[in-house]
Chain A
């Protein structure tokens, strides 16, 4: 049976004390799983990823990684532990070259760097081609690939993805999702926040529907896609 990689229990969090955006969220991500988090705007989907990543304060509840509670651990230390995160916006260092962006993802690892670069370049050949260019010159889709590469180069066990399809063309979205699939097949657990709920639910193993900072529905992705309440509230007519 797959062990939990990330376990969130009763998480309360927000940007300002007293104004909790998350109001007791529970979530489990097991090894080799893709778990989607969907919900309307303001449900707290991105906030949940930021809270797990230690970017915003936690006011209640607990987060476990591989069974160990994460208490006052800073974001950069989570990378060393094996959690990587790709934010929705500002996810590349614009003034740095592609190669330097990837190098920054390696800051905390002591592994042999050249092999890790090779792996990322063979996965994303476009990054190798443009490795001396500034990341600020890349297209939206290419930036997303660079952000994935920067996150993957640290060899994480878990990848947190915040709306990887936002602002991309349909072709680029297909490409990004194909990459996410192959990343998952290589053994990385994926927690995916996605505005495109139908796509996310058909792609994932399990899904969580958040509403106003609370768990609304949970289940297998394919079941949530057919669930009448979820369809009425979030998906619309299929």
Chain B
């Protein structure tokens, strides 16, 4: 079971980052965003598009050959592009829906439609075949009994550093505090002088950049494919709910726990040969914890509804 701990930590970081982004967006906008997985995939696919060799024929329609840019630059460009993508989603789709007083369930259905639409657009432009970034192959090494490649260790460190930075941003910056204020009550924020529309736009941009980053590290650890975000979306929802809806710290923690549990369950004896069922045990545990503590581990009872 312990040999799965390395994979568990890696999946944990992916799910934790995805959960923070989802939880932040939900907290501020009250949107349960089923298209979150597609923003994750967008970041990974764009990084692939920017960084792959121009003569690679694995991806994209013939006329869109990859750009062959250096990987780090590709990552930065992709994350920025995800921010623009999130901003446009808010300005062109979700803000008009909000102004027309669309109910939460109607908006949820819109996000499901958006998810299916975007996923199949990706399938049109990026092949269905899982593809890897142009990065040198590395062997796994032993780090305190945990098997990881040096790049995996870098990813873990960067992932945790990003989570700490998100925490600092939300706790200490003026915009971060305003995001938490709008999360508490957007009407009260407005009458305090905060432009809630501006804060919601910033949250879409910030959450989408974080989602794009999640997709890129998922691509680095595993590979890039058109439905990669959708495949982990359920785990991200589980992480968010487990940690406590509306708390970013809870989402980080819940996501991390879910990711580790999923991978550790692969090592269980009775799972031998049934690894495709690896999500089952983690999700069952989530249900049991929520039965005992409906608000999640760090959640506030007032926010359950």
B-binding residues in A (CB < 8 A): 53, 55, 74-76, 78-80, 84-85, 87, 90-96, 100, 103-109, 150, 154
Are the C-beta atoms of B181 and A79 separated by less than 8 Å?
A: no
| Residue of A whose beta carbon sits closest to that of B194 | A107
* Other-chain contact of B188, A80, A90, A103 (Cβ < 8 Å): A90
A55-B193 in contact given A96-B177, A103-B177, A104-B181 (Cβ < 8 Å): no
Residues A104 and B194 in contact, CB atoms below 8 Å apart: yes
> Is A96's CB under 8 angstroms from B194's CB?
no
Q: Is the CB of A79 within 8 A of B184?
A: no
- Measured in the bound complex, the distance between the Cα atoms of B196 and A100 in whole Å is 17
User: Of A76, A87, A93, A96, which contacts B193 at CB under 8 A?
Assistant: A76
**Contact pick for B190, options A55, A90, A93, A109, CB 8 Å:** A55
A227 to B76, CA, bound (A): 72
Residue of B178, B184, B190 touching A95 (CB-CB under 8 A): B184
In contact, A79 and B191 (Cβ under 8 angstroms): yes
Once bound together, how far apart are the Cα atoms of A85 and B192, in whole Å? 8
Could you tell me if B196 and A104 are in contact, using CB atoms closer than 8 angstroms?
no
The majority secondary structure among interface residues of chain B is: helix
User: Is B154 at the interface (CB under 8 A from chain A)?
Assistant: no
Interface SS, A side: loop
CA distance A80 to B191 in the complex (A): 10
Q: How far is the CB of A144 from chain B (nearest CB, A)?
A: 14
A55–B187 CB distance below 8 A: yes
Across the interface, A104 reaches (CB within 8 A) one of B178, B195, B300, B302, namely B178
| A185, B192: Cα distance in complex, Å | 23
Count how many chain B residues have C-beta atoms less than 8 Å from C-beta atoms of the other chain.
20
Q: Are B184 and A94 in contact (CB under 8 A)?
A: yes
Q: Given contacts A95-B300, A100-B177, A107-B178, is CB(A80)–CB(B184) below 8 Å?
A: no
Which 3 pairs from chain A and chain B are nearest by CB? A108-B193, A79-B193, A75-B190
Residue from B180, B189, B191, B194 with most neighbouring chain A CB atoms (10 Å): B191
Judge whether A74 and B195 touch: CB under 8 Å. yes
Using a CB–CB cutoff of 8 Å, the interface residues on chain B facing chain A are 174, 177-178, 180-181, 183-185, 187-196, 300, 302
User: Which residues of chain A come closer than 8 Å to B189, judged between CB atoms?
Assistant: 76, 93, 104
- B194 / chain A contacts, CB cutoff of 8 Å: 76, 104, 107-108
Q: Please name all residues of chain A whose beta carbon is closer than 8 Å to the beta carbon of B181 when the two chains form the complex.
A: 93, 96, 100, 104
| Complex Cα gap A55–B191 (Å) | 9
Chain A residues with CB below 8 A from B302, complex form: 94
A95 and B183 form a contact (CB under 8 A): yes
Known A90-B185, A96-B184, A150-B192; 12 more pairs at CB < 8 Å: A55-B190, A75-B190, A76-B189, A76-B194, A76-B196, A79-B191, A87-B188, A96-B180, A103-B174, A104-B194, A107-B174, A107-B192
Q: A49 vs B116: C-alpha distance in the bound complex, in angstroms?
A: 44
Given contacts A95-B300, A96-B177, contact A105 B192 (CB under 8 A): yes
- Closest-CB distance, B280 to chain A (whole angstroms): 34
Contact between chains at B180 and A95 (CB < 8 Å): yes
A79 proximity list for chain B (CB < 8 A): 191-193
B residues near A53, Cβ cutoff 8 Å = 191
CB distance A93 to B184 under 8 Å?
yes
